[in-house]
A = this chain, B = another copy of it.
Amino acid sequence: MTAFDDLMGFARETAALEQVSGRLGWDQETMMAEGSGEQRAEEMAAMEGVLHARRIDPRVGDWLAAIDADTLDHAGRAQLRHIRRDYERASKVPARLAAEIARVTSRAQRIWAGARAADDVSAFTPILSEVLALRREEAQALANGGDLYDALLNDYEPGATQAEIAALFDAMRPRLVALRAAILERPEPKGVTGTFDEAGQIALSRVVAQAFGYDLNRGRIDKAVHPFSSGSGNDVRITTRTNPADPFNCLYSTIHEVGHAAYEQGIDQAYLLTPLGKGVSMGVHESQSRIYENQLGRSHAFTGWLYDQMTQTFGDFGIADAEAFYAAVNRVQKGYIRTESDEVQYNLHIMLRFDLERAMIAGDLLAGDLEAAWNDRFAADFGYGVDKASNGVLQDVHWSVGLFGYFPTYSLGNVYAGCLYQALRRAVPGLDGQLAKGDTHRATGWLRTQLQQHGGLRTPRETITFACGAEPSAGPLLGYLEAKFGAIYGL
């Protein structure tokens, strides 16, 4: 046994334990009875204690010091890079600070939920100040004198910088604002009518999940309040939800989560339960969920097939034909809520949050000034004012649980999806003909070969560049959005 073998044996056990911890989270959201909650919190904390001790285990440092990376192959060096990065990160944060962050964010999340329910920003501001101060302290511990926001961002998107993202977003914003304004001057397409029974929605969501290649022999689909996917390797589960008036909520949540799950299920089995055996970043993960959901799932071709499936399942639901159905699926409407937003407006929601949170981390925006800043920016980009805090600054859980640096990865995912879709269309001629039959095989197969199977082998940016054959940029996404919505809305 070499030091590398020992290190990988240890890492493999850690990865297995991380899967266990993730499975507990899945169980909590899908299966666990309400009265089991307090005990579960203690079980989760015990698992976190085990994982934390492994992350800072001094043997890892010894193994890392003993290994000569030049003796390893490409994958071995990538494993080492992930392990070193995680070890150094964990070792930089004092245990006292990590415990304090866990304690305060747990309280902050409860306070946020109450403040949102009461539309009362002032109830949330003091605890947000605390969370912010702690995360800034953590960023200082991590940054080694470098940029604080980048130190946090790197937890979710290793290697990315706020400067690079800001440049990307600043270039996108005027074109998205203009597209949004043009669309909303046009007549609104008709939406679906009637009620859609739950059993039909669930049955159709299974058909759709399998149409997108979800492997039910290594996963399962359950209901949850907020849809999510969970797990890596050979046990990747997804959840969905139903709304009797809106079948798209269930169907497109499912396709979105299938995108995440396909990434995890598609990773090379040689990387199973290793640092390479999971999605490489939040942004790359989101690129998969978004390209499945939007570029493929909301395409003209695929919605034609879906229209037939929906008609067979639900009969008449107020939409005359596949053309009108395509418009209904892609409807752009005014609204305050990020998670209910469409392809065009979604990124504007993200840019707003990105700019505000990096100002907070920089110390240029205080928690007490956040609501005013939010409302000003919203009015500027969306053209109307926020009506209440639960539709504005209090709508997302992220900041309450200390997630600063997470939001931009959603839009990075959209940008990446735009690049991937452009490359996919070049690589797979006749794609529309396949999608029109509900056949995503060639598309998902290309994504698997080009991106999913490689897991964490490359950095996030390299992963996209390798898959597309070109550096990521916003051009493809913007071009796609302007063409698609220009056609739907007759711009």
Chain A stretch 1-25: residues in CB contact (< 8 A) with chain B: 12-13, 16-17, 19-20, 23-24
Task: Enumerate chain B residues within 8 angstroms of A218, measured Cβ to Cβ.
Answer: 33, 35-36
Question: A220 contacts the other chain (Cβ, under 8 Å)?
Answer: yes
Question: A137 contacts the other chain (Cβ, under 8 Å)?
Answer: no
Question: A424 contacts the other chain (Cβ, under 8 Å)?
Answer: no
A interface bracket (residues with beta carbon within 8 Å of B):
35 or more
Q: How far is the CA of A38 from the CA of B269 in the complex (A)?
A: 12
Q: How far is the CA of A312 from the CA of B253 in the complex (A)?
A: 41
Task: Enumerate chain B residues within 8 angstroms of A71, measured Cβ to Cβ.
Answer: none
Task: Enumerate chain B residues within 8 angstroms of A27, measured Cβ to Cβ.
Answer: 23, 27
In the complex, are the beta carbons of A39 and B234 less than 8 A apart?
Answer: yes
In the complex, are the beta carbons of B38 and A17 less than 8 A apart?
Answer: no
> What is the copy number of this chain in the assembly?
2
Question: A447 contacts the other chain (Cβ, under 8 Å)?
Answer: no
Chain A residues packing against B (C-beta within 8 Å): 12-13, 16-17, 19-20, 23-24, 27, 31-36, 38-40, 42-43, 45-47, 49-50, 215-220, 233-235, 272-273
Shortest CB-to-CB span from A409 to chain B, Å, is 27
Q: How far is the CA of A12 from the CA of B47 in the complex (A)?
A: 12
Task: Enumerate chain B residues within 8 angstroms of A50, measured Cβ to Cβ.
Answer: 17, 50
In the complex, are the beta carbons of B20 and A24 less than 8 A apart?
Answer: yes
Q: How far is the CA of A12 from the CA of B40 in the complex (A)?
A: 13
Q: Which residue on B lies nearest to A16, using beta carbons?
A: B46
Q: How far is the CA of A27 from the CA of B235 in the complex (A)?
A: 12
Top 6 A-B pairs, shortest CB-CB distance: A36-B235, A16-B46, A35-B217, A35-B218, A39-B234, A13-B46
Q: A13-B49, A49-B13, A50-B50 are in contact. Are A20 and B35 (CB under 8 A)?
A: no
Task: Enumerate chain B residues within 8 angstroms of A35, measured Cβ to Cβ.
Answer: 215, 217-218, 234
Q: What are 25 A-B pairs at a CB distance below 8 A?
A: A13-B46, A13-B49, A16-B43, A16-B46, A17-B46, A17-B50, A20-B46, A20-B47, A23-B24, A23-B27, A23-B43, A33-B216, A33-B217, A33-B220, A33-B235, A34-B217, A35-B234, A36-B219, A36-B234, A38-B234, A39-B235, A39-B273, A40-B235, A42-B273, A50-B50
